[in-house]
């Protein structure tokens, strides 16, 4: 028997299932980040970093599945401001040190307590921040913009993403 010909549940559906999985990780990360401080900072961070690893690996799945050329996909991704962030967060999460042309290898994340939220919202609020490229970003916003980036890129290369989402 040729076991390399068998597909496991993780590979059935190719890039489409990987995209669905990526969107599920995006939802998990967004829920955890929105729910801070009820969700602990490190748990929210874990979900966000897992999402970025999935979001980054979608590029490879699209290429290996043969649905788009490397040149076309990379050209589309280079037009996106969020792509370098996704790439750097995923690569450092996986490799500890980025040694392949990072945009910001020394990015960092922290939590920030919003002192006015209890007064105005009736609940304590904590935000996760990403410091990247000399700028402070709300991590939940970067997660959202990354998901929107992939939808734009997939539509631009001719994929009907609305027909495959959960």
d(CA 8, CA 70): 25
Domain ranges in the chain are 15-163
Mean pLDDT across 155-160: 87
pLDDT of residue 81: 95
Tokens 């939940």 correspond to what residue? Answer: 140
pLDDT, tens only, 42-53: 999 999 999 999
Q: Mean pLDDT across the stretch 37-42?
A: 86
- Between these two residues, 162 and 131, which has the higher pLDDT value? 131
**pTM across the whole model:** 0.85
62-113: per-residue pLDDT in tens?
999 898 999 999 999 999 999 999 999 998 877 666 677 777 677 788 888 8
* Count of beta carbons in the 10 Å neighbourhood of residue 87: 20
Q: Quote the pLDDT of residue 2.
A: 44
The single residue listed with the structure tokens 């960092």 is 108
């Amino acid at each position: 028997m040729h076991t390399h010909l068998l597909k496991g549940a993780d590979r059935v559906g190719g890039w489409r299932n990987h995209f669905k999985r990526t969107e599920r990780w995006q939802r998990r990360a967004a829920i955890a980040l929105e729910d801070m401080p009820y969700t602990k900072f490190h748990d929210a961070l874990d979900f966000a970093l897992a999402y970025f690893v999935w979001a980054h690996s979608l590029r490879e799945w699209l290429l290996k599945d043969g649905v788009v050329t490397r040149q076309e996909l990379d050209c589309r991704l280079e037009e996106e401001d969020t792509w370098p962030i996704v790439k750097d967060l995923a690569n450092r999460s996986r490799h500890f040190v980025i040694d392949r042309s990072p945009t910001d290898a020394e990015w960092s994340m922290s939590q920030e307590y919003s002192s006015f939220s209890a007064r105005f919202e009736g609940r304590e609020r904590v935000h996760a921040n990403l410091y990247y490229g000399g700028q402070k970003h709300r991590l939940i916003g970067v997660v959202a913009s990354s998901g929107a980036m992939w939808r734009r890129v997939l539509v631009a290369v001719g994929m009907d993403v609305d027909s495959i989402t959960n």
